Amino acid sequence: MSAPRLKGLLFDKDGTLFDYQKSWGGFTLGFIDGLAEGDPALARRLAEAMGVDPETAKFSPESPIVAGTPEEAIAPVLPLLRGWNRAALTDRINTAAAEAPQVPATDLIALFDTLRGMGHVLGIATNDAEAAAHAHLRAAGVAEHFAYVAGYDSGHGAKPGPGMCLAFADAQGLAPEHCVMIGDSTHDLEAGRAAGMVCVAVCTGITPAEVLAPHAAVVLPHIGHLPEWLATA
């Protein structure tokens, strides 16, 4: 079998491998309750600052959590909390996030077996911490499928900058135009485009398809549709 033209597949994690709302809605409200320490008014203010509805746990597309780094996610809540500094609060959210149960967007093991069988090499580029990414991949039973895993703290910068994308291509010995960036946010797609990659959007995050479409070669319902698209790309 000849090597595929688009050999490198670089995935975002949250909202791409895992359904964003199902994975993070309840977790975020629980995290907020812990910070509020029994103060319901503070909990509501924290939820509003994080862009999550305190009643439904639904995220706003503008939530700083959705596409930002943990440091960006906690920035709007830090002024509301006494006794916390940026480093301590970032460490707390990173530690908690690494243990948060994730809801796969599709059968990940079957999908990644298929993609590797088609000759693709797989990577992760997430604005989460690298340690959390490794923890979530291990919990999902797919860690061994990935040749590359980078987070915002891996030394390549965060998305929408292209650093993680370019580092993936370089590590695999691939030209960026032979790689695909797959993600659920404009941050993901802007990073891929800035690196010179083909971009694929999926609808398992918070950002609406009509917002993603101008930035992507195709918008798919979820990553389970990748093999069919790649076969004709």
The ranges assigned to domains in the chain are 8-19+103-232, 22-98
CB under 8 Å to 83, separation ≥6 — which residues? none
Whether residue 194 contacts residue 215, with contact meaning beta carbons closer than 8 Å, is answered with no
pLDDT at 2: 59
The per-residue pLDDT for range 5-25, each reduced to its tens digit, is 999 999 999 999 999 999 999
- Output DSSP code: residue 149: E
**pTM score, whole prediction:** 0.92
**Domain 8-19+103-232 CATH assignment equals 3.40.50.1000:** yes
Report the length, in residues, of the chain. Answer: 233
Express each pLDDT in 97-132 by its tens digit: 888 899 999 999 999 999 999 999 999 999 999 999
Question: Residues 147-158: what's their mean pLDDT?
Answer: 97
- Residue 68, pLDDT score: 85
Bridge partners, residue 218, by sequence: 200
**Mean pLDDT of all residues in the chain?**
94
Give percent above pLDDT 90 in the chain.
85
Evaluate whether 65 touches 73 at the Cβ level (below 8 Å). yes
Give the tokens for residue 141: 């039973």
Mean pLDDT in residue range 156-173: 98
